[in-house]
Amino acid sequence: RDLHSFPTRRSSDLVFVLSKLDEVKIDIFDLNGKKTNIIQNLPEKLGINRLLINTENLGNGAYLIKYEHSNNIAIKKILIMN
C-alpha cells in the first residue's frame, strides 16, 4: 500500500508493497488533472515491487501518480526536472 517517489530527471523508481495479488493500475496526471501517462501490464509479486517510470516525455514540473490496487488508492506527487 505504500508508494514512494522522489524528484527525478529522466526516470523515477516507484516502490510499492502488495499484500495480495490483484490488478495494479498506475496513472500519471499533470496538476491540471490531465492524464499524461498510463502504465499497464505491471509485473507484480507479493511484497515489495519496484517499477522504473521513464519521465523523459514529460515536461518540467510537478505531476501526480495515482496508484490503484484492490480497492486501495494512493496519490503521490513527483517532481520532474529534465
Nearest to 14 by CA among 56, 71, 61, 66: 66
pLDDT of residue 1: 42
pLDDT, greater one: 24 or 3: 24
pTM of the predicted protein model: 0.76
Segment 68-82 mean pLDDT: 85
Cα separation, 59 vs 30, whole angstroms: 10
Length of the chain: 82
Interval 14-71: pLDDT, tens: 888 888 888 888 899 999 999 998 776 566 688 888 888 888 888 888 899 898 888 8
The grid coordinates listed for 30 are 499533470
pLDDT at 3 exceeding the cut of 90: no
